[in-house]
A = this chain, B = another copy of it.
Amino acid sequence: MQNGLKMSRRIRRTPYTARVEALGVSGFTVVNHTLLPKAFQHTAEDDYWHLREHVQLWDVGCQRQVEIRGSDAGRLVQWMTPRDLSTVAVGRCVYTPLVDHRGLLVNDPITIKLGDDHFWLSIADSDVALYALGLARGADLDVSVGEADIWPIAVQGPRAEALMCTLYGDHLRNVRYFGTATVEIDGSPCTVARSGYSGQGGFELYPTPAQGRAAWDALWRAGQAFDIRPGCPNLIDRIESGLLSFGNEMTRDDSPLEAGLARWCDLDTDTGCIGLDALRAQRARGVTRSLCGVRVDAPRGAVCTEPWPVRVGGETVGSLTSAIHSPRLGAHVALGILAHSASALGHGVEVQIDADLRVRGTVEALPFTPRDEASP
């Protein structure tokens, strides 16, 4: 009971919380003031293998949709992100680091462009709605900012497509990665995207509570033929796939250039992003810290609940903020921001697991790849 989570209205339940409780959820975390399941009856390793082979149903209602509408909606979203949105088509999802005027990260949502004047930002764990509202009211923009009554469900794993098509039609096979389609659930249209917080592919649904409960039950029933399990973001899969977690790998103190997100920063275009000047200046100076993947020779059960300091030649060069044993790689896979000087692929580092244990680590490319797959 050391880690008991005390429930209250402030920690919001999703439309599916009663369902995951009935399915034996054994732990939660809190994201956006909302419960996110973190474990069911199986080990993380067992769930990892299942996710790679079958299909899982995830309650990701905590991915709150910040809804931005109005004639200045596009301007407001573009103001917050260094990614150039000028060529994004209606119906597309785009990964959008959000920054402040110093170029420091505020969040990293998937932005869904529902219309030229209508966006959903499917956010990580910070109150993007308050930031957007402050900017909008401070600059007197013609825009409304709210939280849509939309509670995402993720269907992840290699059999997700077959399951989704069984229920919602074969046209879903034609949906590209980060594309969307509309399906009918509970008698009304629902947005579906080919996306999700795993490396194994799948779909996310963006339903109302009533639609979501109907979809959950239908997916669970139809999923029995596909060996479906209840699941949640899997730490082994997440780290192996190089998927970042705002608050873990990067915080309000880090820029997207430091967090390995440069490819989503269009700094040569005058996008109007609030942090554009700061990010251009940082790029010109050169970053001094970079997000890295590190393979760590840690004991199999070592758990990283507090950052592991990383040293080179006795000098601290950063820390690893997420780590777990990968059964496929036979070592711990880890993510963290290190001094740029220590971040070259293949660089050797020392990782302090706890006061008594220092082990060897190696900087590796993301996503992590087993050594026999990497050198065919």
Contact = CB atoms under 8 A, between A and B. Distances in A.
A362 to B, nearest CB: 22
Contact of A130 (B3, B101, B126, B139): B126
A257 interface: no
B100 A7 contact: no
A9 interface: yes
Contact of A131 (B10, B25, B131): B131
B27 A30 contact: no
B9 A125 contact: no
A71 interface: no
Contact of A25 (B2, B9, B274, B305): B2
Contacts of A21: 2
Contact of A28 (B6, B126, B138, B247): B6
A27 B21 CA distance: 19
Contacts of A367: none
Contacts of A125: 10, 33
Contacts of A135: 134-135, 137-138
B1 A27 contact: yes
Contacts of A306: 9, 13
A238 to B, nearest CB: 11
Interface string A235-266: 00000000001111000100000000000000
Q: Chain A: interface secondary structure? A: loop
Interface string A14-37: 000000010001111110010000
A298 B181 CA distance: 49
A100 B6 CA distance: 29
Interface residues of A, number: 53
B27 A274 contact: no
Copies in the complex: 2
Contacts of A138: 134-141
Contact of A27 (B4, B101, B305): B4
Q: Which of A28, A127, A140 is the most central at the interface, judged by chain B CB atoms within 10 Å of its CB?
A: A127
B11 A30 contact: yes
B26 A1 contact: yes
B134 A130 contact: yes
A180 interface: no
A36 to B, nearest CB: 9
Contacts of A133: 100, 131, 134
Contact of A5 (B4, B141, B247): B4
A7 B30 CA distance: 10
Interface string A117-134: 000000001111011111
6 contacts: A3-B6, A33-B125, A100-B137, A126-B127, A135-B135, A139-B139
Interface of A: 1-11, 13, 21, 25-30, 33, 38-39, 100-101, 106, 125-128, 130-141, 147, 245-248, 252, 274, 305-307, 321-322
Q: What 5 pairs across the A-B complex have the smallest Cβ distances?
A: A134-B134, A138-B138, A10-B247, A4-B27, A127-B127
Given A7-B305, A10-B29, 8 more contacts: A4-B26, A4-B39, A6-B39, A9-B248, A126-B127, A126-B130, A132-B134, A138-B139
